[in-house]
Amino acid sequence: MSDLRELYQEIILDHNRSPRNFGVPEQSNRTAKGYNPLCGDIVTVYLLLKGNVVRDIRFEGRGCAISIASASIMTELIVGKTEIEARRLFQFFHDFVTGEETVEFSEELEELTALSGVRDFPMRVKCATLAWHSMAAALDGDGATVATE
Ligand code: ZN
């Protein structure tokens, strides 16, 4: 195992062990659920959207380490972003894990590279993008449920 791989593994395990922004917030005005039947991952994303800015984002759910780590990293990146920026980030991440594009990572987004291992495993891509699909669905409107299949 290369050093880089070990580092990636460590980042994923750390987020899985202690997910950031985990739990139901006191205040939210957009929410969406996501379900990945292939793996059994379930996630609910809560947003507090004020004037097109994501003031707070939290999630709860259960699933594999990839799905939880990706959700955790996502919440850290999305908080404080505008709706447009959040959607752009989702597109960026999606392009990255589906390998359709070579993408450049700014320092802020570096942790996302920890999820690069899923690129070789299409089923794992669904784990990694589940929370992101849910976040986008929450932006689209309240109360949606998205499935990866
Ligand atoms: Zn999974």
Residue spans of the domains in the chain: they are: 2-147
Ligand 1 centroid, distance to 69 Cα (angstroms): 10
CA separation for the pair 15, 12 (Å, rounded): 5
The helix (H) or strand (E) run that includes residue 123 is helix 122-140
29-77, pLDDT tens digit by residue?
999 999 999 999 999 999 999 999 999 999 999 999 999 999 999 999 9
Residues with CB under 5 A from ligand 1 (ion): 39, 41, 63-64, 67, 127
Is the model's pLDDT at 143 over the cut of 80?
no
Q: Could you give the CA distance from residue 49 to residue 23 in angstroms, rounded to a whole number?
A: 17
The alpha carbon of 127 and the centre of ligand 1 are apart by a number of angstroms equal to 4
Helix (H) or strand (E) holding 55: strand 53-62
What is the pLDDT at residue 62? 97
Q: Name the fold adopted by 2-147.
A: Sufe protein. Chain: A (3.90.1010)
Nearest to 85, CA basis, from 58, 53, 48, 44: 53
pTM, to two decimals: 0.92
Q: Is the pLDDT of residue 89 over 80?
A: yes
Gap from CA of 4 to ligand 1 centroid (Å): 22
